[in-house]
Amino acid sequence: WAFYQNGCALRLLSPQTFSPTVWHFLAILQEHFGSMAGANTYLTPPGTQGFAPHYDDIEAFVLQLEGKKHWRVYSPRTDAEVLPQFSSANLTQAELGEPVLETVLEAGDLLYFPRGFIHQGDCLPDSHSLHITVSSYQRNSWGDLLEKLLPAALQMALEEDVEYRQGLPMDYLGYMGVANSDSVDARRTAFMEKVQSLIKKLVHYAPIDAAVDQRAKSFLHDCLPPVLTQSEKAQSVYGFPARWQDGGPRDVDILITKDTEVRLLRHGIVRLCNEEAGVMLYYTTENSRVYHKEEPKFLEIDPEYTDSIEFLLSSYPNHVSVAALPCETLEDKISLATLLFEKGILTTKKPLVQ
């Protein structure tokens, strides 16, 4: 508290790690936005300013919890600062124009500013401030998708189309380049048209769905684990008690039959990805509330089970019997359902433990 009493603002990183309320709130937001939701909490002494004016690379929602805070928000100064990929350095007052919004937040008030909007907050002389900033949509733009997609498209084009592997003209260095950019030369025109043609054709090799799956894989690694209701706990593996046997704890056996009715815990907690190593099912149920404390969670799935995973996804939120899973044998159906249940991915219509 000595820092606070000397006029310093205190920042608590990732309160969702410690607060079930914030965890639940962010888990709902990440499902709604389809993008990681994070948070920081700020306690600022009366009459002080915590941070210099700046803009961020996230969509920000400021929720005032206690006290008051005076905010000024400014529009992006240039087109290059509209929806920026990265946050700015600290700015000076001389670099700012007039604010588009000036307001005082009191407990219960919410302020939103998009990426690129410069903001600064300061406490009034007669009140401290406690607020939480919720963020989302960091590096979640079309450009970020293309960063994954275009290299993959080029690699596929190089493998499948000989035109991309043909050699460059022997003399192109003599008429291309910045030094030759003002030259009128038929060879330059032909070269530019060739490049444009190859770029246009590249779209036919773009593995768009695979690139989206890779972004989904990264998103699932970013995600908080889902927050379960009491009924969901009772109908999932988390409702199973442990028993003492042979001097140690033992899990109760999970008895899933062909008549057991199951469904995904949530639609967005899994993602099927076809990768070089095989078919992987990424999931969030075993994630930590501490950001990236764990490695990405996944199961390597037999390709024959892919249809069953897709069937469970398309059936959500309805329950389906294990017998209805499109696996070859009943043993495969029960084995897959049991595996997914043990990972917290599936719940049952009725609790398996009475």
Q: How far is CA 36 from CA 204, 221, 344, in A?
A: 30, 9, 21
Ordered by where they begin, the domains of the chain are 1-136 (2.60.120.650), 142-206 (1.10.10.1500), 209-348 (3.90.930.40)
Specify the amino acid at residue 107. Answer: A
Report the alpha-carbon distance of residue 264 to residue 262 in Å, rounded. Answer: 7
Report the alpha-carbon distance of residue 185 to residue 191 in Å, rounded. Answer: 10
Cα dihedral 229/231/235/240 (nearest 10): 80
Report the alpha-carbon distance of residue 86 to residue 84 in Å, rounded. Answer: 5
Contact 39, 16 (CB under 8 A): yes
The arithmetic mean of pLDDT across residues 260-274, rounded, is: 96
Reported as a single tens digit per residue, the pLDDT across 313-342 is 999 999 999 999 999 999 999 999 999 999
Which residues touch 9 (CB under 8 Å, ≥6 apart)?
Answer: 42, 43, 44, 45, 48, 50, 51
Report the alpha-carbon distance of residue 216 to residue 279 in Å, rounded. Answer: 15
Report the alpha-carbon distance of residue 80 to residue 108 in Å, rounded. Answer: 34
Report the alpha-carbon distance of residue 228 to residue 238 in Å, rounded. Answer: 9
Beta bridge partners of 39: 134
First to last CA, the chain: 50
Label residue 299 exposed, middle or buried (CB < 10 Å: 0-12, 13-18, 19+).
Answer: middle
- In the structure encoding, which two tokens stand for residue 253, read together? 């056996």
Reported as a single tens digit per residue, the pLDDT across 60-111 is 999 999 999 999 999 999 999 999 999 999 999 999 999 999 999 999 999 9
pLDDT of 66 reads 97
The arithmetic mean of pLDDT across residues 258-262, rounded, is: 97
pLDDT of residue 154 exceeding 70, the answer is: yes
Report the alpha-carbon distance of residue 23 to residue 236 in Å, rounded. Answer: 20
